[in-house]
Amino acid sequence: MTRSKITAAQIPNIITLVRIFLVLPTAVLLWRGMYPQALVIMSIAGASDALDGWLARRYNWLSSFGAAMDPVADKLLVAVVFVIFTVQGHIPIWVAAIVLGRDGVIMAGAGVYRLLFESIEFSPTFISKANTATQIVMLLLLLLALCEFSIFSELAFALVDPFCFYLLAVLGIASGLDYVITWGRRALRNAKRAS
């Protein structure tokens, strides 16, 4: 029996796994209202996201595992933070419904497409990247506001409500429709070819 050794090329995947493991302590800290500590953990998660992507591209340490799990790690953290902040009353239900509903529709559509036609290789569009970036910025701003760091928190909250809420709603709907239209057309083409 041979033991597999960890190679340098696996470092981005390990960082991605660490980011997934950071979701639980982040959720616990947020739930308990320990916002400054949660901000530290989320900052580490954000830095790790940038680091694993940079390492994978810089040294060509790309893998199918990393390509699949990196967005899962991001979405998992964002979804957990959105749910907790919504339950705590910091994010309106309609904003959370748009953000989480969009992801649910995309995941369901991807599952149906894969079941009926072929596997999917997602390549995020510009509007999808803008949507994800806005979600992360808004959550960090809201977390900063909840940390009660005097004027910085007041400024952060002023940016979040209502500006970020409305921007997230627009980007969430637009990027969701973009995915539905793009993949709906592709599904129709595949269905015509199959018949």
Residue numbers of the chain with a pLDDT score lower than 70: 1-4, 122
Between helix 35-58 and helix 23-31 the angle, nearest 10°, is 160
How far does CA 105 lie from the centroid of its chain?
15
How far is Cα 30 from Cα 34, in angstroms, rounded to an integer? 6
Which pLDDT tens digit goes with each residue over 125-178? Answer: 889 889 988 998 899 899 999 998 888 888 888 889 889 999 999 999 999 999
Cβ 99 vs Cβ 38: under 8 Å: no
